[in-house]
């Protein structure tokens, strides 16, 4: 018993120290916003990352894990690994996008669909790194050049399912912001929305000189046009397609 108690204690200490090192701010319904200005992160490049994995309950992960524990009890202390994408699971392609409105009235979208990848050092000062179609660990990333924040009126970061398969209830997605200074900011898409195809995740807006990130997490049953109407962007939308991989 002394061995197991010692092992559990060591694992707990590692977990606690890892959390302290992570130093993340989680935006929730009860704590929905954070100021980048107050934490000295209103300059430089803001990295916004989407990562996701399939829920273990949908691929039998819990059953397999409990069976393996009987054979290898030390696996109890190892984190559970779940593949984001397999042939036996529904084919899900989550995409990251951003609606932008500049101070001069320019409006538009940065997203993989239509290859609207934006620009980091020229308007709109928002750029998508690429299109991840397979749930890779690195996910998809949008960069925002906050050195030009005076030119940006508001941003809306959203996630949508390209192949039209409603599957937000089968995935666990997290959008993480990595500011130039201070802790990272995490927003989980943890609400079950079986028929939703898009989700408004967060807004970034200047509020009386304070650059504020606000959690939204509003699921809708349509696509970008419905998000546009919800937030009053006023763009014209048409059918778009991706180029073949």
- Rounded to whole angstroms, the Cα distance separating 193 from 7 reads 39
Write the burial class of residue 116 (CB in 10 Å: 0-12 exposed, 13-18 middle, 19+ buried).
Answer: middle
Q: What is the pLDDT of residue 79?
A: 39
For residue 95, the cross-strand partners are 160
32-231: which CATH topology? Lipoxygenase-1 (2.60.60)
Domain boundaries, the chain: 32-231
The predicted model scores a pTM of: 0.76
**Residue 108 Cα distances to 16, 192, 241, angstroms:** 43, 29, 17
Q: What is the pLDDT of residue 88?
A: 40
List strands edge to edge, sheet with 118-119: 25-26, 185-189, 171-178, 45-54, 140-145, 126-128, 118-119
Q: What is the pLDDT of residue 165?
A: 64
Each residue's pLDDT, cut to its tens digit, for the chain (245 residues) gives: 444 444 344 444 433 334 433 589 999 999 999 999 999 999 999 999 999 877 655 444 444 444 444 455 444 444 343 333 333 445 677 899 999 999 999 999 999 888 899 999 999 999 998 654 444 445 789 999 999 999 999 999 999 987 656 678 778 889 999 999 999 999 999 877 778 889 999 999 999 999 999 999 999 988 899 999 999 999 988 665 545 44
Token reading at 45: 């490049």
């Amino acid at each position: 018993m002394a061995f197991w108690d010692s092992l559990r204690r060591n694992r707990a200490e590692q977990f606690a120290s890892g959390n302290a090192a992570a130093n993340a701010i989680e935006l929730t319904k009860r704590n929905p916003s954070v100021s980048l200005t107050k934490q000295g992160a209103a300059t430089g490049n803001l990295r916004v990352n989407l990562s996701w994995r399939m829920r273990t309950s949908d691929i039998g992960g819990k059953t397999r894990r409990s069976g393996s524990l009987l054979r290898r009890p030390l696996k109890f202390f190892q984190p559970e690994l779940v593949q984001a994408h397999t042939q036996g699971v529904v084919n899900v392609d989550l995409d990251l996008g951003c609606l932008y409105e500049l101070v001069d009235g320019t409006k538009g979208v940065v997203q993989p669909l239509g290859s609207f990848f934006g620009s980091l050092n020229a308007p709109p000062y928002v750029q998508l790194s690429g299109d991840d179609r397979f749930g890779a660990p690195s996910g998809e990333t949008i960069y925002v050049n906050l050195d030009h924040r005076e030119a940006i009126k508001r941003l809306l970061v959203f996630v949508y399912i390209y192949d039209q398969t409603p599957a937000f209830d089968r995935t666990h997605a997290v959008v993480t912001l990595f500011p130039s200074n201070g802790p990272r900011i995490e927003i989980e898409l943890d609400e079950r929305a079986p028929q939703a195809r898009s989700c408004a995740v967060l807004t970034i807006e200047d509020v009386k000189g304070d650059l504020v990130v606000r959690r939204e997490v509003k699921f809708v049953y349509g696509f970008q046009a419905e998000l546009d109407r919800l937030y009053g962007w006023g763009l014209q939308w048409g059918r778009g397609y991706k180029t073949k991989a």
